[in-house]
Amino acid sequence: MTEPILEVRGLTKIYGALRAVSDLGFSLEPGEILGLVGPNGAGKTTTLRCLAGIIPATRGEVRIGGFDLFRAPVQARQHLAFLPDEPRLFEYLTVREHLNLTARLYGVKDWVVRAEALLRELELLDKQDVLPSELSRGMKQKLSIACGFLHDPRLILLDEPLTGLDPIGIRKMKQSLKARAEAGAALLLSSHLLPLVEELCTRILVIAGGRAVAYGTLDEIRSALGAQTNGEGASLEDLFIRITQAAS
Amino acid sequence: MLSILWFIVAASAKNRVRAQLRRLKQPRYLVATIAGLLYFWSVFLRRLRWDGAFGDLPAPMRVLIPFGAGLVGVLLILPPWLFPKQRAALTFSEAEIQLLFPGPVSRTSLILYKLARSFLLIFISAAIATLLFGMRISGHGLWFLVGMWLALALLTVHEIAASFAREALWLRGARGVAVLFAGIGAVVLGAAALVFRSLQQLSLPDPDTLDLAGLAAFVEQVERTPIGRALLPFRAPIEAAFAPDWIHFARAAALAAAVLFALTLLLLRSDHAFEEASVIAAERRARQLEARRTGHRRLVHSQVRSRHLPATGRPEWALAWKGRIAARRLFGPQLFGLVIPVVGLSGMLVLMVRMGAPIHTAPGWNGALGLGLFLSALLLVVLGPNAVRADLRMDLPQMDLLRTLPLSGAQVVAGELLGPLGVIVTAQWACLGLALVVSLAGELPQVPVPLRIVLVLSAAVLTPTLTLLGLIVHNAAVLLFPGWVAVGIERARGFEAMGQRLLTFVGGFVVWMVALLPAALLGGVALLVVWTLAGPILAPLAAVVASAVLGFEAFFAVVLLGRRFDAWDLTLEAPPG
């Protein structure tokens, strides 16, 4: 059995009186794409931010590539890329400088070759000396993706990764995500675009009110739900509505 | 429309107060608010006079102040006409553009809405001015309040009207611009003719015997001339504020109100350039807000080229490299701007010394310039970290990104500090190097050449660690009290903000002093030893000792701040996204 790239046990995040994430547990093996879905306020973004090390968890354990995220964060983050829905960029660095910065941070020796390939793939080759303020929303998203992919991360966390991309960009992004999974990366994808999740993900985790309410492949969820509510053959959208309504 | 205005204003105020009250549950914000209230009380409220002994303004001043205000008013109405590229006066927020522009709201209603909002804010400003000094100097608080409100409202409405008229004329192309300048020319010529006619009617007072009462009498004489009468609308609001009785107040206030009404009517009827003026301004405002969200408010000079960063090596240098680029692109001109006035002031200082000193002890011009550059390097220790904010102060809004980097907290803090440090120290060393070269070529009789070299070397050794200490103090404030740093769209206001600034300043000063103490002690001992052994020539060694102590302190501070960075829970500082 392959060693999981991401292991989450008992992940809990509490804001004052609000329990945003409660006792979440799952794992991700190389080549897997896990879809994280749930209604607004379910705790998806909080979960992703905890897994990326942006905010500390109140309780629980997260291991990335065998390293405890809270005890050995530097080693754990070395294997990680986090692509938020709103691209986070330094407004004073050009496209190429962003990639140069990322290369040094992750020690990517052949970054020039990799950066050129990524920029070509993402159609940013002619924007290398441009500042983020001169890029469109979609282009900023592409730059954020290029920075995230530059060091070939073993775990990629994506929060609504297609926001701002044009149809061609969306198609290329989907192909790229599949290719990375085939190459051995594990992906955790949070999105409200259920057809995208259905198309890409090998397993799905549905959360509501910070708790996992369904977990498994689409067929597993279907059959588990079908036993109770005739869910056979239903789309993820149908299942999502039934699951979340039942949870609320 | 007024109900919408009231709703927006009331809801915004209520929510702001509610958020501030919620923050008071955290002790540091409570302390800041108490400090702010105490400061406000000690500076303003304590000095208020409630005994009714108002109106201690000398009688001649009641004539001179409105006249002077009228002249100032003339000066203030000129720029919106003379400088056509100035900002548009009517600006809408992003939310207003999004919600109100596409809504079933007429253009007139939108202008009225903005005017009403401006008038309300002006009223608050006028009320504060009345409370703080108006009641005391005017003698009648209500009249002062009305007068001040009318004056500020007139300026505001005029600025908006001028911006509309200007935009409308500019949109007409060369012909419109010609009309604009012809109009300005006609007004200037008309004013000149009035001044000429008025001068013929005036008997100028004898400057040798002129006192305050004589000047007031002369001004009264001017007020009766054509130019004085032309100035009447400009001085009317302030005349109302300082009116000696009800009749004068009513007459002046009615005139000012009539002018305000006429201008407002003109504004509401103008159908040109409203969209252009307001949308352009809104876009500019959106860019400013975006810049504020991303942590910096200046233009990025992308033409500043960067050097290629090798992909291997210590990763924190990547942040230092990033910071250096940011410092050069965002703050480079500012740093340069800091040096020039310091050199200039030093030059003036030396000039004054030179004028007062015997010629054989006075410094030559080269020496003076060298001294100015030397002082600039030292002053940059304090001013540099204040001006070059290309560190955590700028990157706080990008904390999500920083937290995902494969770096420890100490590495992030160190990397963030090294960028601006490099830029400031480069400027300091350039100043010191130039100071030495220039002073060697010139005369500085009281500072022999060997001493100049010793001083420059000592300063070169000390400035990096001293500057680093300053940067640490500023960045510690960001990590320890992030709510007090002005980033993001929700900026601290009111008493809390006042207290925060006060406490941050005092806290920074105390930390600075405490950190300097060990370095000063050990450096002082070292200086004593080397001075006794070899005289001043080895003084830079003492600077090395002091700098090493500061370096150790900085190292431990970075480690501690790194721990704080690692343990930092963003959600405790801001609501979850």
One-character DSSP codes across B168-235: HHHHTTHHHHHHHHHHHHHHHHHHHHHHHHHHHH--PPPGGG--HHHHHHHHHHHHTSHHHHHTHHHH
Task: Give strand pairing partners of A62.
Answer: A8
CB contact at 8 A, B439 and B366: yes
Q: Check A53 against B403: CB less than 8 A apart.
A: yes
Q: Is A51 on the interface with B (CB under 8 A)?
A: no
Q: What does the pLDDT average to over B215-232? A: 85
Q: How far apart are CA A189 and CA B445, in angstroms?
A: 74
Q: What does the pLDDT average to over B116-127? A: 86
Nearest CA in chain A to B315: A105
Q: What is the residue type of A100? A: N
Q: How far is CA B381 from its chain centroid?
A: 21
Q: How far apart are CA B507 and CA B477, in angstroms?
A: 9
Compare A108 and B297 and report the one with higher pLDDT.
A108
pLDDT digits (tens, 9 = 90+) for B344-391: 776 666 666 665 655 555 566 677 778 888 888 998 898 888 888 889
Q: What does the pLDDT average to over B513-518? A: 90
Share of chain B above pLDDT 90, in %: 21
- Predicted local confidence at residue B2, as pLDDT: 61
Q: Check A77 against B566: CB less than 8 A apart.
A: no
CB pairs under 8 A between A and B: 103
Shortest Cα distance from A83 to chain B (angstroms)? 10
Compare B238 and B103 and report the one with higher pLDDT.
B238
Q: How far apart are CA B403 and CA B412, in angstroms?
A: 9
| Residue B48: band (very low, low, confident or very high) from pLDDT cuts 50, 70, 90 | low
Q: How far apart are CA B509 and CA B39, in angstroms?
A: 18
| A contact test, residue of B401, B412, B416 with most A CBs within 10 A | B401
Q: What is the residue type of B165? A: A
Compare B167 and A71 and report the one with higher pLDDT.
A71
| B contact test, residue of A19, A48, A90, A129 with most B CBs within 10 A | A90
- Predicted confidence (pLDDT) at residue B54 exceeds the cutoff of 50: no
Pairing of strands A18-28, A6-15: antiparallel
Q: Is A44 on the interface with B (CB under 8 A)?
A: no
Q: Is the dihedral of CA A207, A212, A215, A221 positive or negative?
A: negative
- Predicted local confidence at residue B490, as pLDDT: 42
- Predicted confidence (pLDDT) at residue B572 exceeds the cutoff of 80: no
Any idea what DSSP says for residue A238? H
Shortest Cα distance from A170 to chain B (angstroms)? 23
Instruction: State the number of CA atoms in the 13 A half-sphere of B31 facing the CB.
Output: 10
Q: Where are the domains of chain A?
A: 1-79+154-160+186-248
- Predicted local confidence at residue B291, as pLDDT: 54
- Predicted local confidence at residue B483, as pLDDT: 63
Pairing of strands A59-64, A67-68: antiparallel
Residues in B closer than 8 angstroms to A62, CB to CB, are: none
Q: What is the residue type of A216? A: G
CB contact at 8 A, B377 and B428: yes
Shortest Cα distance from A218 to chain B (angstroms)? 29
Residues in B closer than 8 angstroms to A51, CB to CB, are: none
Q: Check A78 against B406: CB less than 8 A apart.
A: yes
Residues in A closer than 8 angstroms to B304, CB to CB, are: none
Residues 316-345 of chain B whose Cβ lies under 8 A from any Cβ of chain A: 317-318, 321-322, 325-326, 329-330
- Predicted confidence (pLDDT) at residue B418 exceeds the cutoff of 70: yes
- Predicted confidence (pLDDT) at residue B296 exceeds the cutoff of 70: no
pTM for the full model? 0.69
Q: Which residues of chain A have pLDDT under 70?
A: 1, 226-233, 247-248
- Predicted local confidence at residue A5, as pLDDT: 93
Q: How far apart are CA B168 and CA B164, in angstroms?
A: 6
pLDDT digits (tens, 9 = 90+) for B246-279: 898 999 999 999 999 998 888 877 655 555 555 5
Residues in B closer than 8 angstroms to A104, CB to CB, are: 309-313, 315, 317-318, 321
Nearest CA in chain B to A13: B571
Q: Is B405 on the interface with A (CB under 8 A)?
A: yes
Task: Give strand pairing partners of A18.
Answer: A15
- Class of the CATH domain delimited by A1-79+154-160+186-248: alpha beta
Q: Which helix (H) or strand (E) holds B75?
A: helix B59-77
Q: How far apart are CA A129 and CA A140, in angstroms?
A: 13
- Tokens 């070169």 appear where? B460
Look over chain B and give the mean of its residue pLDDT values, rounded to a whole number.
79
Q: What is the residue type of B365? A: W
Residues in A closer than 8 angstroms to B569, CB to CB, are: 55-56
For the sheet with A186-190, list strands across it: A80-83, A155-159, A186-190, A33-37, A203-208, A211-216
Q: Is B303 on the interface with A (CB under 8 A)?
A: no
Q: What is the residue type of B408? A: S
Shortest Cα distance from A240 to chain B (angstroms)? 23
Q: Is B567 on the interface with A (CB under 8 A)?
A: yes
- Predicted confidence (pLDDT) at residue B575 exceeds the cutoff of 50: no
